[in-house]
Chain A
Amino acid sequence: MADGGAMAAPRAAAGGTMQRMARRKSTVAFLLTLPLLAVIGGLVAWPAAYAMYLSTLNRRMTAFIGLENFAILLDNETFRGVIWQSCFFAITAVVLKALIGFWLAHMLHHIPTKGQRLWRGMLLVPWVIPPALSTLGWWWMFEPSYSSLNWLLAVFAVPAVPWLGEPWWARVSVIIVNVWYGAPFFMIMYLAALKSVPEQLYEAADIDGATGWQRLRYVTLPMMRNIISITVLFSLIVTFANYDIVRVLTNGGPRDLTHVFASYAFQVGVLSGNIPRGAAVSLFMFPLLAVIAYFVLRGINERTKEIGA
């Protein structure tokens, strides 16, 4: 009996501790976030860490070679071209998407509410179609031998354009498709931001005799600064990681002049059987994007605090 009593006391104490822990809000919050943490850990953190580990191995994945894969890549003309193309592609596409999205949002914002819904729905169509599928549609329009765009140009006696066969046209084609696909995202984000700008600010600006440009420059843009930063950052990351458009439209050609990081990583890593080097290609922009993300998010935080204060 003595033994039984001695065992019961700590069990009761343990039960009490468990109950106290369960009653604490932080514990409940932690338990509720566990599924999300597991998903992030399993689908984001672990693959990223594994890719980093892979990038430090030799081709046969039998020896650790440190950062040698990155050094080899930087020594390669084709890869240096890929860096340039990826930057050109991402920056051009994001700038165009932002400008077109902003312009579309403004146009929509001034349409009466009744008709706005229809236009908003139609303009969102490119964004909701799976990009691999819509890119296939674009490929049919650009197709080297039977381009429907060239057929239309021929109607107006304009010479055929080698959309995918000539390097610069191929780059332009890839950017056109990316902008077509991504501009609706900017549009919808900017439209939401525009709707949240208090009307009184514009009224005050009007009283002060502000022109349309001044309203945009001193009221709209400052009020949208955070959303612009977030969308540009998000889109920059996604565009740098773009794969399907290049894969479907050009497969990186002609002469590797349209490859971006993701398409080149797939070619080097999976198709050519050099997984460590493919991992190195895919991780190449990670440090730069991480730094950009840090500064952009810090700026947003500071502005939010200023507004709060």
Chain B
Amino acid sequence: MSVILCRKERATHPFFIENLGIHVYTSQELCYAVYQHPLLALDGFIDQNLIDFIREELDMGFAALKLERWLQSGENPDELLFLLLQECDYYNSLEISRLRQKVAALRKLPPLEYAKNKADYLFEFKQYGRAIAGYEKILESFLAARADDEFLGKVWNNLAACYARIFQFDRAMQAYEVAYDKLKSPEILKKIYHLTLLNPASVTKWHHQSAVTKEQTDAWDRDFEQAKEDAGRSEELQKLQELFKKDPVKREAGARQLLASWKQEYRGMA
């Protein structure tokens, strides 16, 4: 239990962490992002842009200089994270050493496993475009040839989920087909079936349609209907309904704002 005094440093131009899709305004927020999501903060997270932000917006010239020198030295770039945390004095030594252990454990993972973890993390933060790039890189890697079907099936499955989330149903269908080939899981068939409900045109591309029974489709239909009902009661939809109850001027302004935010969200995802 303790109290930490914050420096007066609220940035006028926040730093955008692309991998998380958020802006940070203070050194505490920056450290928090690094500490909570080390996987996203490794591999080139601390670059010249971030160092400039630390120098100019956070007014931490000395810390920026240290980071810059380390970056130029070509030594282990992971150390940059710990250096940053030490300089900001937000996490104590014990916490920093815990992070050090976490990073070391991540670095010990096999390369494909590490890459999949990272892409999964991006998926979790709705960074579908970046996650797709990550999964595709795994599949294109020469190491993929030596990977087992189970691992590759999971990668294809996650890749398909990414495509589905950004409404690229055809690509999603193809990826699920490959995933089913590798894993033979009925769960994947269910996802494919739901895709055909969302996009009936893709039914023709479903090669494993014969593997599905009538009982299965009935059960999946019920699940689909339930999901639609739940979606109908969602908070977001209620907000939308509220918006359309307002007078035309407010409605238009609200709709414009909402559309802009959706666009921004989609661009962030894709």
Query: Is B a genuine binding partner of A?
Result: no
Interface set of B (CB-CB < 8 Å, partner A): none
Residues in A lying within 8 Å of B, measured CB to CB: none
